[in-house]
Chain A
Amino acid sequence: LSLAGCRGSANEGGGGGGSAASPGITDTTITLGITTPLSGATAGPGTCTVAGAKAYFGAKNAEGGIKFGDGKTRKVEIKTYDDGYDPQKSLANFQQMVSDNVFAEGIGLGTPTNRAFREAAISQKVPQILVMTGDPLFSDQKQSPWQLGLVPIYQNEGEAFGKLVAASGGAHKVAILSQNDDYGKGYVQGFKDAIKGNSSITVVGEQTYEATDTSVDAQLTQLAATGADVFFNAMSITPLVIASLQKAQQIGWKPSWFLPSNTSSPTAILQPGGATAYPGVYTVAFAKAPQSPEFAKDEDVVKFLSDLKQYGNYSDTPAFPHCMWSYIAGATLEKAFGSMTDPTRDSFMKALRNIKGLEAPLMLKGTSVDTTKDGQPAISTVLVQKYNGKGYATSSTFG
């Protein structure tokens, strides 16, 4: 059946060892592919993801390009593909990217969509990097040799908050509301791990909601009845977070809140939600929030917003943090490009896994990119922050 041989190799997608250039890279350009939801329910964060990456590299290209470790200066081309959060489509997009000669895939958002082509990426030796999912699988080097996560795994965020509460020393009753998927589960797991063994902290109520729900009033009523003084709310849907903030105070339940990093925007969420009514609203973060008045004049933020407008075609102040994250991913990639010595995927992966202490633009003081820890994504340090009525301030004590 040697007939099959009459076609160029399909499964050997290139890459491999040697120093012949991998697909998608020339002496003047490198092509990155992003598959992410640009339509459907998750299109909000999805479009933001693309905008941030385009903003970063658009600005760099305008400056003439990025200097690579092999001495050449290249412009970065970004090809985007809409997967609508459908795993089957993200796989199709990946196959399309391979045929479109993309050097690496990355930054895309979504756990199932990234999982759907993880095996294909491995078998074709195509980098699938800085993916925006807190799924730890992508940062496990053994299982995912061609992958790397970008944002802290969900557990880390939950854990950070759990530690804060545990460290407060007081007795606390905690109510938990989480999204019914790995996102919510990860948060809750991290939180519970952190408070394990601490007898003064009890979880008095635990509820879930579906990402497609239009209301979580019932859960809040139920949790309010527990009389908890701490509310761990692992919720990724912006409108629901606003509605929750409003609802809880209406029914007279005013605990300390915890919110995840992606749904804690001061202007888009806390202000309309009336968050000042609560004794404290906490979140974890590693990136500066452009909506926060504190950073209004921050150099990074100003440049970011202008890049976003000019190159990312995104004129609003984003309600999602994903724009910032992908901007940071851009900086991380630049760093990796700068130290890759061959125009190959191998060399790129090596370079990418060798970044330490990079304080990328928009990152908060005290956080940095570190790709050298197996089992952890590029960013694994997070800071707990407390809402101060206008923006956030880093906080190391609870209460």
Chain B
Amino acid sequence: METFIQLTVDGLSTGSVYAALALAIVLVNQATGLINFAQGGMAVLSAYLAYAFLEAGLPLILALLVAVLASFGIGALVERFLIRRFERGDPDTAVVATIGLLTLVTGIVAVVWGYNNRQFPSLFPLTSVDILGAVVSLRSLATTLTILAIMGVLQLLFMKTKLGLALRAVADNPASSALSGLPVGRLLMVGWGLAAALGAIAGGLVGPQLTLTPGMLDGALVYALAAVILGGLDSPVGAVAAAWAIGVLENLVAVYIPLIGHDLKIAVPFVLIFVILVLRPQGLFGRKVVVRV
């Protein structure tokens, strides 16, 4: 039983890593209608920026803050000068463009900082607390809470604010939104900027755990995508819930179904996706896209 709880808690903490990235993906999708494969790469860049500011002598919290702001700018510029070209074209091309962006960003990080591992300090101590007989580090606890907070903010942003409505309108149909006077270009930049800033927070949160390398989020990307699709593309709550579900289930299945084991546990989220999406195409928490004939 103790092991079971510990495995569950471990799963939640791994799931939080996926969730951080998943939230940024949801944000970009809500704001621009794209799936951004480069989201993880951009978060890595942000983490390295924070690292650079730290090296330059800023205190950790300030370094993170500056990195978040800088990332907002980078995200906005990337949208304006790169992604804009692909926004109205074939969606496959846009996806490949984000793949190109991922490659480019990873490459830039590698050129500037190299492939050597770098330690990134955490805001939160590694000391652990006991919850229901399971041991949790304050760090994972804080990560999890931060993610919950971000999720709440996003949900409010999209559902309750004028900016959120405008972002969704533009993602839905930019040409039509412009006819109501929505500054489409600027809103798209804001959307990417916000997602990049969120990515920076994610990078700062998971950086200490994963140690900085140019490819540190490559593995998490697939999980984050899975979480986004499973939870519902338009739902921050869904993304987080799905990321946790994946983290926990993976652990439990690997341990309690030895036939699957740790090598094939990665199949679990995908089987889950398949089963759930057949029943609920819009994902666990997503709203169904209405298409009428």
Contacts and interface: CB of A to CB of B under 8 A. Distances in A.
Interface stretch (B61-69, B114-122, B155-163, B178-186): B114-122
B263 A212 contact: no
Contacts of A319: 116-117
Nearest to A214: B219
* Chain B interface, DSSP helix/strand/loop, else mixed: helix
B42 interface: no
Interface in B82-124: 107, 110, 114-117, 119
A306 to B, nearest CB: 17
Interface string A269-305: 0001010000000000000000000000000000000
A202 B261 CA distance: 21
A199 interface: no
A215 interface: yes
A50 B112 CA distance: 18
Contact of A218 (B110, B115, B116, B251): B251
Contact of B6 (A212, A238, A251): A251
A320 B115 CA distance: 10
A212 B223 CA distance: 11
Interface stretch (B24-32, B46-54, B206-214, B272-280): B206-214
Interface stretch (B8-16, B144-152, B189-197, B232-240): B8-16
Contacts of B117: 44, 238-239, 268, 319
Interface string A32-74: 0000000111011011100000000000000000000000000
A250 B215 contact: no
B115 A43 contact: yes
B177 interface: no
| Residue of A210, A222, A268, A316 contacting most chain B CB atoms (<10 Å) | A222
Interface string B245-274: 000001100110000011100100000000
Given A43-B115, A180-B263, A243-B209, A221 B14 contact: no
A48 B213 CA distance: 14
B282 interface: no
Interface in A184-226: 207-210, 212-215, 217-219, 221-222, 225
Interface of A: 39-41, 43-44, 46-48, 180, 207-210, 212-215, 217-219, 221-222, 225, 238-239, 242-243, 246, 250-252, 268, 272, 274, 314, 316, 318-320
Given A208-B261, A214-B223, 17 more contacts: A39-B107, A44-B213, A46-B115, A47-B115, A180-B262, A210-B263, A213-B219, A214-B219, A219-B262, A221-B6, A221-B10, A242-B211, A243-B209, A251-B6, A252-B135, A314-B114, A316-B114
21 contacts: A41-B218, A43-B214, A43-B215, A44-B117, A48-B116, A208-B263, A210-B262, A212-B219, A214-B14, A214-B220, A217-B14, A221-B6, A239-B213, A242-B211, A243-B209, A246-B126, A250-B126, A272-B119, A272-B211, A314-B116, A318-B116
Interface of B: 2-3, 6-7, 10-11, 13-14, 17, 107, 110, 114-117, 119, 126, 128, 135, 137, 209-211, 213-216, 218-220, 223, 250-251, 254-255, 261-263, 266
